[in-house]
Structure 1
Amino acid sequence: MPDCAMCVAHSVTQIGTICPDSTGAALQLQGCFIKYDNTSFLGVEDKSVLLSKCGPSIMGYNQGELMSRRDAVLAGLSSGGGPYRVGASGKVQGVAQCVGDLSMSECQDCVSESMGRLKKECGSGMAASGDVFLGKCYARYSAGSIGGGGSVDSKSGSGGSSSSSNDGERAFAITIGLLAGVALIIVFLSFLRKVVGGK
């Protein structure tokens, strides 16, 4: 739990710096997600795509093995229970997580949607990794060099991306994160105002 608390504290600091006068923001970091807005979003499903990113293609070994391992990991994450799910098959690892205000069935719907998008958007390019951030959940997988002989081809068509593209995606993700975080703070402050004003 200390890592989570530190991540949230760091996120709040970042979001306040990047979007100081914003009425809504969201920030997704490696270990946490914060969001705030001046409209109600708690308990509301949101499967809109905030960010979708596929890594470079893996070359030099049986690509069918990568696909089957990736599919096994994604299937395990899809069928797993709870808001936080992890899985692995060989050197392919995956994680999926929902925000805490979703019911289990809403979380399952969101995770299933994110898994489908990962397979659709990152599957045909033999991407070494894939990330999909939806409004209320995210999913990611990453493959190492299966069999030890693979190499990463960063110039591949649908799987590759330039560093300027990565910077743009990172800036977009930070902006969305900041908007969601500010929204959460505003909702919290509104709640406090009602509680204090009601006494």
Structure 2
Amino acid sequence: MKQNLKVQSFWGFCQNRTEVVNEIGLCIDTAEVKLLTSISVLGNQSAVEILIEIENIHRFENAKKLSAYFGLHPVFKQSGDGKWGNHMSKKGRSEIRAVLYMSGLTAIRYSELFRNIYSNARAKGKNHFSSMGVVMHKLLRVIFGVLKNKQGFSTIVDEQNVSNAKTKKDEQKEKRKTQKKEQVIKLERYNNAGLNGSPISKRHAKKHKKIQET
């Protein structure tokens, strides 16, 4: 990005938001605008506003940190009457979340990818706004990916990335199961040490002798 630009709360005082965005857009790297508009649900104005907010994608290590910056990450909240649950943190500027929300509405209307994400969230019992939060998360991850990799959006690449992420998650889950089984086996060996004639340490021998005496 050619300049580090940051739009603060003066948005609320702008009489012609589109004109202001277009003027600021002249200072934005047009290559990055083209990258974002490769996501069919983002127009030039939305792309410019998002780029203004991000400033430099390399400030963010991963998509989760970008999501937290936009205030989309979940946080645990509990009220005085005992109601609790995970909710969107809503940190940062509400104006930029509104841009993502409106882009999300466009996405579920015209994009099969985002429409399926929304439908799956609703099928799991989430309400409209929670489901839109899932869509906004996905949209922000896509934005992070195209800017970080400097490649236009492709549904084929996205499907492959999702598949790879699922495979990695399954592998990690299986690894945790294996580690848990190994811990159980190790604990059983520890508890049964010496009972079947297997060699044990002096500390274990002393412990078992004490148990037998009692």
Judging by fraction of residues, say which structure has more strand: 1
Q: TM-score, normalised by structure 2?
A: 0.26
Relative contact order, higher structure (CA 8 A, sep 6+):
1
Structure whose CA Rg is larger: 2
Q: TM-score, normalised by structure 1?
A: 0.27
Judging by fraction of residues, say which structure has more helix: 2
